[in-house]
Amino acid sequence: MTSRILIGAFGLLAIVVAGAPALAETSQHRMTQELAAQTQRPRITIYPRRRELGPNARRECRARLVQEHRPSGTVIVPRMQCWWE
């Protein structure tokens, strides 16, 4: 009876060891895809519309938190207001 348990344990160990590289390869492949997705994100350039700005113009922003009333309840959300100087 003990020999059957030992043989079964060694068989199970062999299956786990044989499957480990495939699991590691899948995990590595997933991490590579996530990294590729991060590097391919588009960069957004913002241009002023209404007036010509000088070479030292910059965009100023003010951020704050405001309450919004929703059907699920009141929540606090960020708001941003930006302008050119």
- What percent of the chain is predicted at pLDDT more than 70? 58
Question: H-type helices in 1-85, by residue range?
Answer: 2-39
pLDDT at residue 30, as a whole number: 75
Structural domain boundaries enclosing 63: 2-84
pLDDT at residue 52, as a whole number: 76
CA distance 76 to 66: 6
| Overall domain count for the chain | 1
Query: Tell me: the pLDDT tens digits for 11-69?
Result: 666 665 565 555 556 667 777 777 666 666 677 777 767 677 788 888 899 999 999 99
pLDDT at residue 13, as a whole number: 63
